[in-house]
Structure 1
């Protein structure tokens, strides 16, 4: 920042009666001391929970002035599927540090309400200053990926498998799942194996269900790598109550994620519209998904048959967006 910009900043951002130099003798919160830790980003300084900016005062001396409570960039996040970039922000509000993820495109004054509603200290004349700091700080922040779809995917020319994390042969996990389904690992692998050996192996119907579950990543791999073009494998379990249908669904779902029916696990209700059911399965290329209680759906025979074919093709209904794309 040159001298003209510094002078303009001090004149526009601070009124003459509210300009105050921060010095070692100041009693303002966040004052510097010889042994205090701070972070410098260009002409900005973060000390404690406060953001300061270095400017030139009326005597031509460089001093620190307080901007407000700090908003920091913890990481830059890029969506693997859409390419959209967001910022993981950490900000001080109501006496404690809070976190929020904001689309990078919202760092404009026209979207200021988004930041104010979250409690960030960006009101009035501060917005441009804080946004300028965020723009500088993000260049120092670590970069990572997120994904909202599941299964196989070609990323930067490499084959990966997306579950709770994105897995690539010979590489550490590098992306985190940000979606509605509960697929974070829980429990222990040993307990799961023990349960399979005790309750599944040797019981042909359950062995069939387990094999069908493991078929999901095989079918997805064939399609993603274009080795073959194959529709999704659909398996319909029919039987009276208390004959083990839900137990079988739990076994199948447990391979990839939570087998919960009520807490957004991999067992979903069939009580929804055709479009809603398609959106749940869209983009899933390798993870089993169960729809429970088909009888709850009120579609007619013709519409129900059409839905089954659409689910097998694993394609969401084509739509135009606001830009006619």
Structure 2
């Protein structure tokens, strides 16, 4: 990395400027700014949209921010002023030219904001199929990068996978019910893979029904801890039903193989779940028009959804036979043996998550 080279005392030269750890200078040895450079040139896998990563030093500390190439084309060096990196007006033109020169020397790297199986070309060998978590997983090495900043879900690896495994061996494997919950979480990669390879398969929906003391939410959080953050939050895999159906579908549209938990159906304002279950299972949102009258990009997904509630969802439908195929309910199961066991599981997965999914996907990717 350029920052490491600069800190090691190297001088990096360009047509009109050179860069040291002290900053950017012209060849009259006049300092133009503190260190600033293009760290990466990225391209979204899905739509080919371009991004640029600008790195800049403030008080000796390096900071990186991602911008679209449209933003960079319009503002260039001005983009970093919002972060307190200020440049004299007289130096902006030469710095802009330097950043463009540097950008053009870089090879574009593929980036992704989807999770699960990435929407790359369908005309590829199975060995080239990529499963996107915090890192790309495939049978062959892929030069892709997760765009964490713009991704809707937190699939980062946190803590120790060994700590997570120790908890699973002690608390989960001895319990058939918790082992089932873990299996539901792992199943999402199979659903995503079948859809990715052209099979007609529905998203799997499992509803855990029971009182608040049965441990159903703990079981659901355990299931999604395989893949990423299992706690509530803006980007966690633990979501609430307290959202409109359309908002839920929009978020799902970037998920092909990573299990999600939707907690407490009682939080939903939906009175009849018939249409919602069909839409969730079919893995595709309604076609919509843009403001210009063109068809908007249709959201598509294929994964496992685990929902929880104190009452049956299927009872709040028209009870068509097809609904009972698309959603399976597990009612009145005691998922955890005690409050102490539930607290232990929640404590471990809150601080150790995501690592198991990386290992599981790597194992499968050796022979998709």
TM-score, reference length from structure 1? 0.75
SS in 2 for 1:236: strand
CA shift, 1:141, in A, is 4.2
Take 1:300 and 1:87, find their aligned partners in 2: how far apart are those partners?
A: 45
How many residues are aligned here? Answer: 279
RMSD: 2.7
Matches within 5 A, 1:114-133: 114-122=79-87, 124-133=89-98
Q: Is the 8 A contact 1:167 1:173 kept in 2?
A: no
Q: Which residue of 2 aligns with 1:205?
A: 177
SS in 1 for 2:276: helix
Cα distance per residue 1:107-145 (max 9 Å; x no partner): 345677644323344453433322211111123446433
Tell me which residue corresponds to 1:100.
65
Determine if the alignment matches structure 1 residue 75 to structure 2 residue 40: yes
C-alpha distance in 1, partners of 2:291/2:26? 41
Quote the residue 2:205 is aligned against.
234
Does structure 2 conserve the Cα–Cα contact (< 8 Å) formed by 1:167 and 1:174? no
C-alpha contact 2:11 2:19 (8 A) present in aligned 1: yes
Match of 2:165 among 186, 193, 196: 193
Q: Is the 8 A contact 2:77 2:95 kept in 1?
A: no
CA distance change for structure 1 residues 40 and 321 in 2, over 3 Å: closer, same or farther? farther
- Return the match for 1:271 from 235, 242, 251: 242
Match of 2:132 among 162, 165, 173: 162
Q: Does 1:283 align with 2:254?
A: yes
Q: 1:125 to 1:274 in 2, by over 3 A?
A: farther
Task: Tell me which of 260, 270, 274 is aligned to 1:305.
Answer: 274
1:42 equivalent in structure 2: 15
- Alpha-carbon deviation of 1:170? 3.3
2:113 aligned with 1:148, yes or no? yes
Higher mean C-alpha displacement, 153-162 vs 208-217: 153-162
Q: What runs of 5+ residues in structure 2 fail to find an aligned partner? A: 1-8, 296-368
> Could you tell me how far 1:268 is from its partner in structure 2?
0.6
Structure number having the greater helix percentage? 2
Bigger Cα Rg = 1
Contact persistence 2:76–2:96 (CA under 8 A)? no
Task: Please give the alpha-carbon distance, in whole angstroms, between the structure 1 residues aligned to 2:208 and 2:286.
Answer: 26
Aligned partner of residue 234 in structure 1, secondary structure: strand
* Secondary structure of the corresponding residue to residue 155 of structure 2: coil
For the residue of structure 2 that corresponds to 1:81, the secondary structure is coil
Displacement, 1:271? 0.7
Aligned 8 A contact 1:163 1:177 in 2:
no
Equivalence for 2:232: 261
| Runs of 5+ consecutive residues of structure 1 not aligned to the other structure | 1-35, 55-62
Please give the per-residue CA displacement for 1:276-309, whole angstroms capped at 9, x wherever unaligned.
21122213111100100110011222xx322222
Whole-Å Cα distance in 1 between the matches of residues 62 and 201 of structure 2? 49
